[in-house]
Each structure stands twice: as C-alpha cells, then as structure tokens.
Amino acid sequence: MTNDISLSFFGAAGTVTGSRYLLEFSNRRVLVDCGLFQGYKHLRERNWRDFPVDPASIEAVFLTHAHLDHSGYLPRLVQNGFNGTVFCTKATRDLCKILLLDAAKLQEEEAAYRNRHHYSRHEPALPLYTQADAKAALALFETVGFSDPDNPQPGVSLGDLSVSFHANGHILGSSFLDVQVAGRHILFSGDMGRGNDLIMRAPELPVYCDYLVIESTYGNRLHDNRDIWDETAKIINETIAAGGSILIPTFAVGRAQAMLYLITELRNRKMIPYLPIFLDSPMAISVTEVMQRHYRYHRLNKARCQQLSRDVTFTRTVEESIALNNLHMPAIILSASGMATGGRVLHHLNRMLGDHRNTVMFAGYQASGTRGARLVTGEKRIKIFGSYQDVRARIESLDFLSAHADRMELLRWLQQMPTAPKRCFVTHGEEAASDQFRIALNEDLGWAACVPEMGEKVTL
Ligand SMILES: [Zn+2]
C-alpha cells in the first residue's frame, strides 16, 4: 500500500545510545536523531558498520537534542553521502557546533595515537570522521522555533510531512517531536527532562499522537528524593572537614551548568564555606557561554547566568589544568567526561582516587561498562591510563541531579496525553529498564507497548 508508513529502529533499541529512527513513506526517507553508539566496545563498533540504507536517499534529519548519542553520527552520515537538511532548535545547533567538532577532533587524535604506537588492527587507523566532515554536517543545519500552546507554529513542513518541536526540559534546546505524516501523528519523546530541574523549565505537556516512541533510561528506577541542597552541602562539608577536595565528573552539556549553579548557590547561601570552584573542561566552558546567550530557554535570569563566570574559575588551557595538581587547599573541581570515559577528569581521578580524604561526586546517568558505573558500584581498583589505581576516595552518586525523568515522572507526563496512543515503542533504555517500563505502560496505563529490537521495522 502506498499509504504505508514504516518506522525502523537503528539504535537505542535495548540500549541507551545510538538513537536513530528511520521513517519511510511515499518513497521518502527521514531520520529522527542520528546518534553515536557509546559505552561497551561491541556497541561502539556499530558506529563503523554501513548505515542500513543509503544515506544519500535520506532527505532530512530531525534532532531532538545535541547530546552525542542523538547527534554524534551525523558527520559519518554526511561522509557517506547524506546531503539533506538537518532540522533542530537554535540552541541545539549552537551546542552541536561545539560537540561535533570536539568529537571529530578526538577521533582524529585517537587515530593519530594508534598510528604512532602501531596500536590498531587496521593500518593505518582512521578516524570515524574528521573535523572537515563535522563542518560539512554543520553546514546542513537549519533552525526551527519551539511550538507551545501560546505559539502553535507549524515547525517544518515538507509536503505531507510536518514536524513541530516542543521543549521537553532535558537540556538547552531539547525537544520532543510531533511528526505528522499522511494524517498520522508520531511523537518522539527524545530524552525527557523533569518538572523540577535546577536550570531547565518543566517539559511542555504531551500532544495527541497515534504512535509514541518513548525513552526509558530510568524506566525501572525512581530518583532519590533527598533534598538536593542539604545533601550536597553535607557531602562537601564532610569532605572539607577531612581536609579533602571534591571532584565532580560531569557531562559538559547540561549537568555541568546545573552543578555550577547548585554549588555557587550553596556558597552564596553560606551552606558551605568559601572555597575555590574550578570548571576544568574547555567544552563545558563553551557550553556555559551558550547557556548565557540563550537565557530565555531556561530558569536562570540573565544576571544570575552571567554571574557564573565571576563565581567560578574557568581553566581552559592545559597549563591552567595542570596547575590544579598543585593546589594546597580544599577545592571543588568540575571536569568532563561525566562517566569518566575520557577527558581531563581522568588526570584528576588518577591523582585524587588514592586519597581517602577526597570525594568523587557523580552527577548523572552512568552507562554500564563505563568507569563511572564501576566506581559507583563500589569497585576498589580501577584502570586509568593503562594501570590500576586503588580507590580510597569516597564515591557518591547524586542521582537526584539527573537530567532524565524517572519512571514515575515519565508515567505522570504521559498520563496528561489527551488520548491513549494506538501503540507505544519503548526505546533508549538498558534491557531491564525498557522492559519494565513497557510493563508499566501495559498495566498502569493500559496502553499497548513493545520494546523494539535493533534493526526492527514496523508498519504504522
Ligand atoms: Zn540526552
């Protein structure tokens, strides 16, 4: 039937990364999200496989938000022939500029390192993509405004396809998408934020849909409901009393800015003593600047947003970062990456993990297989830069700072949907999380739901 619409799940199916959903209708193809697989090696290797359809045959990509597991495969798609348009919000584009170029630079550096050390099965080792590929991808971006009840603008209209973007509170510029094809509505949740985030505004209400693609990162878990302010102050005060410092591995986009706000507020409110705060991540610094530019999209007013640059020392250069090794007083260092899989935070971990006076405070989701997940589950020896390091520092996981809605928050949001969708597809979760959220949709809401498999194609 020519009227058929098919939806294929090329990522984030039974796992949390690699979001890529292909819609096919009337001989047309569009992609919702174009993410990198991250975490375990067998997942990362998927980034090297051929894309299941010819990238040149895809006319557009719609991005829910800038995180690399939703946008980081774009340069590779472009390298392999995609030449359509990438639609997203302004803030998503500004963040992608930072993230995609940085990801490309890391890929190039890693390939060069492997070649220098003949440390590759493939000679020569190649980057997944280059900075030139990232620039070519960024040249295809076109921005779209948010739709909301006061401003129900149509978003993008391409023949019998239209897509509108609705703020969903996860990070700056993030959205859920209402995709309308041939009279049918498909809602893609993207990564759902929360009602009471420190910085992001609450998600917009869900709109009517026939089909729902819903994330389930925390589909089987509830966030800790301890008081964010008291609990964080308590950990910091205990660490300072012991003469230690606090290291916060943080995601450069989103959590770094929420943590900066939280910690500078604690200091301003005198809930913790005066101590220096460093943001040691060039990317998180650039993202903080994007946030300061887009202050209308979040809860902090312009003045409070600008104040972050005065309250915190930004260490952009390598020399400034190395100088932090010689601090002789308690301090708070925020550094990326958030799951301690790479970046400057590894140098700080290497130096700080062995000392029982220090605290390492994780502030977001830790995917299985990452160093962050190992530390949070209490492993006592961790490999960094090729050798094992004893873990004597205190490890804390502040999951109440998560940028993802938990199981209850997701269900509560969905209950506000005008009518039940015909079918729900539960994605973007590890197996147990997705499956238990599917059961919750079935049993608590009485909705038809399934967990699609990687590569599965369904007809809508
Ligand atoms: Zn995300």
What tens digit of pLDDT does each residue of 139-189 get? 999 999 998 877 777 799 999 999 999 999 999 999 999 999 988 999 999
- Partnered with residue 161 across adjacent β-strands are 158, 181
Token pair 């060039």 in the structure block, residue: 282
114 pLDDT band, cuts 50/70/90, is confident
Write down the number of H helices and E strands in the chain.
14, 22
Q: What is the amino acid identity at position 109? A: E
Q: How far is the CA of 36 from the centre of ligand 1 (A)?
A: 12
Q: How far is the CA of 242 from the centre of ligand 1 (A)?
A: 35
Q: How far is the CA of 177 from the centre of ligand 1 (A)?
A: 14
Q: How far is the CA of 186 from the centre of ligand 1 (A)?
A: 20
Please give the average per-residue pLDDT across 298-315, as a whole number.
91
- Partnered with residue 395 across adjacent β-strands are 360
Q: How far is the CA of 94 from the centre of ligand 1 (A)?
A: 15
Q: How far is the CA of 19 from the centre of ligand 1 (A)?
A: 10
Give the least confident one: 29-33, 40-44, 73-77, 375-379. Answer: 40-44
Q: How far is the CA of 319 from the centre of ligand 1 (A)?
A: 31
* Confidence (pLDDT) at 1: 47
Q: How far is the CA of 139 from the centre of ligand 1 (A)?
A: 23
Q: How far is the CA of 64 from the centre of ligand 1 (A)?
A: 9
Instruction: Return all residues near 139 (Cβ < 8 A) that are at least 6 apart.
Output: none
In eight-state DSSP terms, residue 152 is -
In eight-state DSSP terms, residue 332 is E
Between CA 57 and CA 62, with CA 61 as vertex, the angle to 5 degrees is 155
* Confidence (pLDDT) at 116: 84
Q: How far is the CA of 11 from the centre of ligand 1 (A)?
A: 14
Q: Is the pTM of this model over 0.85?
A: yes
CB-side neighbour CA atoms (13 Å) of 277: 23
Residue 2 has pLDDT above 80, yes or no: no
Instruction: Return all residues near 280 (Cβ < 8 A) that are at least 6 apart.
Output: 315, 320, 321, 324, 333, 334, 335, 344, 345, 348
* Confidence (pLDDT) at 120: 65
Contact 179, 63 (CB under 8 A): no
Residues 319-366: tens digit of each pLDDT:
999 999 988 899 999 999 888 888 899 999 999 999 999 999 998 878
318 pLDDT band, cuts 50/70/90, is very high
Q: How far is the CA of 172 from the centre of ligand 1 (A)?
A: 10
Three-state secondary-structure class, residue 211: strand
Domains present along the chain, CATH in parentheses: 5-221+403-459 (3.60.15.10), 228-401 (3.40.50.10890)
Contact 199, 256 (CB under 8 A): no
* Confidence (pLDDT) at 217: 94
In eight-state DSSP terms, residue 161 is E
